[in-house]
Amino acid sequence: MEKIIKNIALIGASANKSKYGNIILKDLTAKGYNIFPVHPALDNIDGIKVYKTPEEIKEEADLFVFVVSPSVGLGITKRLYEQGHRKFWYQPGAQSNEISEFLKKDPTAKFSTISCIMVNTSESGDLLF
């Protein structure tokens, strides 16, 4: 079932303005999404609180966007899946066949591995996923 996505956890957020983990953070924030950046070594990015792990986020994330290597992403995906999460978005370079095969086993899991989240979101802040 599709739902309007508003709360997004960004796995692999970055303070480096040239990295996609920062570019995506700024883009989605400007479009009105509630972004929860996740990075184990950062406390904040330009005044935005950064979470060490997705489990530290107190609000319910509607979607988990990955901007990390597939090997890191697979482990986090499995943890989140075990906790009941079923909506995942893998930026180009973050996806792998192993991640896809893992998620394809469950018809309730919804995931994207083919396009950039910034292209699929609008200025109105509406994303159906």
21-69 confidence digits (pLDDT tens):
999 999 999 999 999 999 999 999 999 999 999 999 999 999 999 999 9
Q: How confident is the model at residue 129 (pLDDT cuts 50, 70, 90)?
A: confident
Cα–Cα dist 96/66, whole Å: 12
Positions of E strands within the chain: 7-11, 34-38, 44-45, 48-49, 63-66, 87-90, 110-112
- What is the DSSP pairing of strand 48-49 with strand 87-90? unpaired
* pTM, to two decimals: 0.94
Please report the domains of the chain, with CATH numbers, ordered by start residue.
Answer: 7-112 (3.40.50.720)
User: For residues 121 and 103, which has the higher predicted lDDT (pLDDT)?
Assistant: 103
Does the structure show a pLDDT above 90 at 125? no
